Chains A and B, each alone.
Chain A
């Protein structure tokens, strides 16, 4: 088998050195009832590469890829072009096959890109410090709530109704299992939630999002002050990281913690994972942060270098007193993010964001002109909510047969709320073409007659 270097001669020589007659002897502590005396029956044996490739290609062929048809889905994962260089750099063995940089002398590659990543995340979000990434946006949000509980000594979290349901649900699961209170608003695509009124002296944090689930843009500056007055932390979620190329960052609004999904840069859609959670906060909370941190220092020759630092917050040292149980970050995805953002630079990211917005405006104007359809948003970045004259879910399934991937029906997240049944979340990015928009608009017009 191609991944196994030992020959039979090797095995015999090694057994001789060990003083065992066979490898079975080395399994002597395993109860007989649990041992298999030969490989599992009924499962295939080893295969050449091309057979494996063929089997998996057959499964891949059963899917409709986003690039093969008009595509308008967002809702927490966004289809942006990843430059070819990114993947080639990620695939370098020294990046792909390295481990957590616990031996910093031979991991300066990893450590330096993490330092660059932390700097990029802090600057994008307008915050003072950022960590070296988490699993994804929703788990980062849950960790942010736990941190707010620790910092304030309170245990009541409030989640706005406009927050992406995966974030809300992940926080709620955390609340149920780790025993704190979580109150979530109901989604109001056109209403004002009056979030400041929901704060009291028991509130540890308020979780909000911009652009929100429905694509609306918010300025949380006033809300940040209200939180501060109540001694609660404001946690701002960003699900479309490219939006920060064009919009006022949460840090400028006074956010205490910003969590985001970094998938939109350097990482493709990948059917939902692996993604990369971004976590940034005010410097005064540094010791309460979860996740890995990379810090600058010098070596014995006085040269600048980087190391993992403040590790005493983490599980491998603090054990049950750790700030989080997390071990892994999303290293390779963070690297993809860093490389993509380095390629874009200030000018490229700004231009990319402007392009996204321009396409979305074009799409919105076209769809708003369809009889019986209405764009609900006053503001948006690249995603907005379309109100149809009939339930969105069956329509999306119909269009999928063309195929047209028409966006996400809000009922996917809220199947029992009839008031949301006719709403469709629609996204355009720099990859959306005029032809796509035309095809989509024509099909939608037909379907909505």
Chain B
């Protein structure tokens, strides 16, 4: 199983071959509530790690989604336009947002256990 890595802003990235699949974490989708709309970046867009490149909306809130790593957007999950609820039901799987071809590996992301500890820390 390829390893999932996380950002402090609750995005995840999973490298498969030469592409990183990205989405928002299960923690993030729970905090947001029912997702009603997703604004995805354009395929081909060059992005830097930390750039706000997508938006995810619930009925009451809108959150930026930041690029977990630097590279080029090579695919977006169009299904989310018709079925935004997939972000809730499959945040770590078929609710992915975009795929980035990394310009360089990102070494400063958290692994699973580090991220879980991070989330616990946010609550206290």
Contact = CB atoms under 8 A, between A and B. Distances in A.
Question: Are any A and B Cβ atoms less than 8 Å apart in their complex?
Answer: yes
Interface in B39-93: 57-62
Contacts of A287: 37
A9 interface: no
A317 B56 CA distance: 13
A321 B58 CA distance: 16
**Interface size bucket, A side?**
under 10
A311 to B, nearest CB: 7
A309 B59 CA distance: 7
Nearest to B64: A321
Nearest to A317: B62
Contacts of B36: 312
A318 B62 CA distance: 7
B3 to A, nearest CB: 33
| Most chain B CB atoms below 10 A, which of A287, A311, A312, A317 | A312
Contacts of B59: 309, 311-312
Interface in A310-325: 311-312, 317-318, 321
Contacts of A309: 59
B98 to A, nearest CB: 19
Contacts of B60: 311-312, 317
Contacts of B37: 287, 312
Contacts of B58: 312
A289 to B, nearest CB: 14
A301 B62 CA distance: 28
Nearest to A314: B62
Contacts of A317: 60-62
A321 B57 CA distance: 13
Nearest to A313: B62
Contacts of B57: 312
B35 to A, nearest CB: 11
A318 B37 CA distance: 14
Contacts of A318: 62
B51 to A, nearest CB: 15
A287 B84 CA distance: 15
A259 to B, nearest CB: 25
A312 B57 CA distance: 7
Interface in A293-341: 309, 311-312, 317-318, 321
A298 to B, nearest CB: 14
B74 to A, nearest CB: 24
A287 B62 CA distance: 13
Contacts of A311: 59-60
A360 B58 CA distance: 52
A287 B81 CA distance: 13
A317 B61 CA distance: 6
B55 to A, nearest CB: 9
A446 to B, nearest CB: 65
Nearest to A287: B37
B61 to A, nearest CB: 6
Given A312-B37, A312-B58, A321-B62, 14 more contacts: A287-B37, A309-B59, A311-B59, A311-B60, A312-B36, A312-B57, A312-B59, A312-B60, A312-B61, A312-B62, A317-B60, A317-B61, A317-B62, A318-B62
Interface of B: 36-37, 57-62
17 contacts: A287-B37, A309-B59, A311-B59, A311-B60, A312-B36, A312-B37, A312-B57, A312-B58, A312-B59, A312-B60, A312-B61, A312-B62, A317-B60, A317-B61, A317-B62, A318-B62, A321-B62
